[in-house]
Each structure stands twice: as structure tokens, then as C-alpha cells.
Amino acid sequence: MRSLIDIKDLSIEEIDELIVKANDIIENPKKYVHACDGLKLATLFFEPSTRTRLSFEAAMYELGGNVLGFSEAQSSSAAKGESVSDTVKTVSCYADIIAMRHPKEGAPLVASRKASVPIINAGDGGHNHPTQTLTDLLTIHREKGRFNNLTIGFCGDLKFGRTVHSLIEAMSRYQNIKVVLISPVELKLPSYIKHDVLRAHNIEYVQTTNLEDVMPTLDILYMTRVQRERFFNEDDYVRLKDSYILTPEKLVNAKEDLCIMHPLPRVNEISTEIDSDSRACYFKQVLNGKFIRMALILKLLGVE
């Protein structure tokens, strides 16, 4: 019985399989409406994340399955001090698969070692969030038709953004990938990722503080939020935040087929004027998130 705890648990072939399956679901939704008849997904959210939970629940309902669970620790037995192990052992009696979000890093791994059903990590603190990475991968593949030969720009908070770290790690396994890192000096990509991931895979990368300079080279632009609380003082924040807000002016020299992504929720880092631009893919990402979760649920449940 398999679980998905870390995106690195999946081989390139398994990711390809999931992409193929998600594309088939998108093209032939009728084929899957009863795929999970009589099966139940438990969403155990020890910390709230409405977005991720709704995506999992919508995925299971579209497969004909049912959903049970809780959306915050206060309403669960964890509030009474029950261990993760005991909670999942109990829930394993009711559900066929579990999607779990937890504020503590490694909690889903603990769960997967104790549960008798597959566990999907729906985010463990600032650590892993593999279904977000799968969502990003499906979006890249649907927009570009390939994972090889791409120049990907990551813009904003590259220091704390776990979605950025995981996607860099996932993309570094493909051929001829170039990475462009665009951030204020304060929020640069941590050096261990440059060393252990980019250099280890011989990935060509550029580091810059200026988005417009590198814009023409990008096939994909992955935007993230620059959060106020990451800065030591308000002045720095005010000075820097606008440099990392995407506006139509900054897109003047961008490629015609640029794909603009964002893990959402956005605050103001992408101007709403861009929403109607055909290159804006962030709302498509939301939809892709549901489809890739459907593919993942099918795979882990062993349903064809």
C-alpha cells in the first residue's frame, strides 16, 4: 500500500502516469464518475486550509466517492491530545484513503507508518506539499506539452516558499532546464538548494533582482507572495514590494506563449489586469489541482 508524503517518492515515470491519467480525466470526465463508488476519502485537516481541502473533496466527489473528516484541530480528537498515530488508526477503520494536513513537519509520514490505508500529505507545516507540486507539474505540461527544454523564472519570496523549493526539485530531474531566480537579496533561494539541487543536477541558473531584465527569456514565470512579515523593517518592504508585482508593463517584452503561474492565494503580486491575459494560468492551476488529485486518488486506491 502506497502513500504520497514527499514529491521525491514518485519516479519520473510515475509522475508521467499521473499526468496521462489527469489528461484522460479532463478529456473523458464521464468515464470516471463512478470510479470510486462506495469509497471514502477522509480529509484530516489539523490546521485549516480551505483551498486544499475543497480541492481534495471535489476530486473525490467527482470520482463518485464520499468524503468525511474535519477541518481544524479544535474539532478533532487531537484537541484532546490524541496522537497522530491513534487518530489515523481510528480513521483507517472508516475511510479508504486519507488526505492529511498538519502544522508539524513529518506528521503525515508518522501517519503513513501507522495507517492501514494510503495517506496523502496535504501539507505538513512549511515542509512538503506534494499535491501542490503535482498541480504545478500538470499545469506546466498542459501549457507547454513537455517538461524538457524550459526556462523557468521564480519570482518573489524564494527563501521561504516551499512550493518553489519543491518545484525546483521536481523540475531539476528533466533535461535542459534553465532556472532564473528573481528576488530581493533578503529573500534569495537558500544556498543548500542551489548546491544540493541545482548544482547537483548541473542545472544552469541565473540570480537577479530585476524581473524585467530576464522577462524575454522565460517560458514559465512562477510568481509568489512577498510577505510583509519576512522583512526586518517596513521601509525595506515598501521599497521592494513593487519590484515583484507583475503588471502589464512588465510583460511588454515577455514571450507570446509565456505561462504565468502562482500557487494562490494572491494578495497583490499579480495585478488583476493580467487575469484576462491569455498567458495567465493561475486559475487554470486551481482546476488542474482537482484533476491531478483525482488521478492520484485513483492511483493510490488502485482503481483503473
Partner 1 sequence: MIVDAIKNGIVIDHITAGHAMELYSILELDKLDCTVAVLINVPSKKKGKKDIIKVDTLLDVDFDVLGYVDPNITVSIIKDSKVEKKLEMKLPSTVTNVIKCKNPRCITSTEQELDHIFKLTNAEKKIYRCVYCESKAK
Q: Counting contacts by CB under 8 A, is residue 198 touching partner 1? A: no
Q: Which is nearer to partner 1, 64 or 106 (CB)?
A: 106
What single letter denotes the amino acid at residue 26?
A: I
**Which residues make beta-bridge pairs with 200?**
none
CB 47 → partner 1: shortest distance, Å? 12
Which of residues 85, 90, 207, 243 is near partner 1 by CB under 8 A? 85
80 is catalytic: yes
CA 105 to chain centre: 16
Phi, psi torsion values for 184, nearest 5 degrees: -65, 155
Least separation in angstroms between residue 239's CB and partner 1 is 30
Paired with 260 in beta bridges are: 221, 280
Q: Is 262 a catalytic residue?
A: no
162 is an active site residue: no
The yes or no reply on residue 106 touching partner 1 (CB under 8 A) is yes
Using rule CB under 8 A, residue 160 touches partner 1: no
Task: Name the active-site residue from 40, 43, 52, 290.
Answer: 52
- At position 228, the amino acid (one-letter code) is R
- Determine if 167 is a binding residue for partner 1 (CB under 8 A): no
Rule CB under 8 A: say whether 199 interacts with partner 1: no
Tell me, rounded to whole angstroms, the distance of Cα 148 from its chain centroid.
19
Whether 259 contacts 245, CB under 8 Å: no
- Cell numbers representing residue 303 in the block: 482503481
129 is known as an active-site residue: yes
CB of 156 to partner 1, least distance (A): 22
- Per-residue binding string, partner 1, 36-75, x by CB under 8 A, is ----------------------------------------
Of the two residues 110 and 296, which places its CB atom closer to partner 1 in the complex?
110
User: Distance from CA of residue 59 to its chain's centroid?
Assistant: 15
Using CB under 8 A as the binding rule, whether residue 105 contacts partner 1 is answered as yes
Binding piece for partner 1, criterion CB under 8 A, among 80-88, 172-180, 229-237, 262-270: 80-88
Indicate whether 239 belongs to the interface with partner 1 (CB under 8 A): no
If binding is defined by CB under 8 A, does position 290 make contact with partner 1?
A: no
Q: Kindly give the pairing relationship between strand 220-223 and strand 40-45.
A: unpaired
Annotation says 131 is catalytic: no
- Count CB-CB contacts under 10 A for residue 3: 21
State the DSSP H helix or E strand holding residue 78, giving kind and residue range, or none if neither: none
For position 258 contacting partner 1 by CB under 8 A, the verdict is no
Nearest to 22 by CA among 169, 135, 98: 135
The CB-side HSE value for 121 (13 A sphere, CA atoms) comes to 30
Distance CA 276, CA 128 (A): 31
Phi, then psi, of 187 in degrees rounded to 5: -120, 35
Interface residues with partner 1 (CB under 8 A)?
83-85, 102-107, 109-110, 124-127
Catalytic residues, which ones? 51-52, 80, 101, 129
